[in-house]
Copies of this chain bind each other. A is one copy, B any other.
Amino acid sequence: MHSRSPASRTGRPRSAAADAAILAATREALVDLGWSKLTLGDVATRAGVAKTTLYRRWAGKNELVVDAVAELFDALELPDRGSLAADIEGVVLQFAAILALPEAKSGLMAVVAEATRDDALRERVRASVVDRQKRLVLEGRARAQARGELPPEPDPGAAARTADLIFDMVAGAVVHRTLVSGQPVDEEWVRGFTQVLLRGLTAQSTRPVAG
């Protein structure tokens, strides 16, 4: 999006160290102050840069926090644990661990709330945060279909809709549990969740999913 695709234009280049310091300072301020009391002036002071430098790179608080929080989700991976249930449990626990961080808690939902009235911000969140999570769903699903644990979906449209549905169910449940209910996503909860997701509510809840 930025017009610096060519190797580097003339003039003094932007300091990459400043970028990293600003984003780290933003997360630190999120922990100390939370979203509402976070000010760009304070972030600039913490990062050791001038306030004007912040405004030269980010349009405002929303965009800055999106970038700061997005980095937290870089750690998400999908290790092969042998079964779909184990894969889901592993990824959900990872996701929940990130969401439980105070810098993610206070920043992410606030930005999502702002994004309901700002299409550009919503797109930024989608590209920086959501798509990175959704990719795990696509990979895990393909892996499970290759294992024969999930029925194949030849129609690409239906496959995309199902992937979106799974993504909203998984991410939504974890986010709701963490931020709205305020309860921990521990192993017991994850087992129950995976059970329902794979077998449904109508199954006996004590029957193991791997059968």
With A35-B114, A113-B35 in contact, is A202–B171 under 8 Å at CB? no
The answer on a CB contact under 8 Å between A204 and B151 is yes
The answer on a CB contact under 8 Å between A193 and B181 is no
In angstroms, Cα B113 to Cα A105, docked, is: 7
Q: Is A110's CB within 8 Å of the partner chain B?
A: yes
Q: How many copies does the complex hold?
A: 2
| A177 surroundings in chain B (CB, below 8 A) | 168, 172
In angstroms, Cα B169 to Cα A149, docked, is: 22
Scan A177-211; emit 1 where CB is below 8 A from any B CB, else 0: 10111110000110011001111111111000000
Q: How many residues of chain A have a CB within 8 Å of chain B?
A: 59
Q: Is A142's CB within 8 Å of the partner chain B?
A: no
Which of A20-28, A49-57, A159-167 lines the interface with chain B? A159-167
Q: Contact check: which of B167, B192, B200 meets A165 at CB < 8 Å?
A: B192
A-B contact pairs, 13 of them (CB 8 A): A105-B117, A109-B109, A109-B116, A113-B179, A115-B179, A151-B204, A158-B205, A161-B192, A169-B173, A171-B172, A172-B176, A196-B200, A200-B203
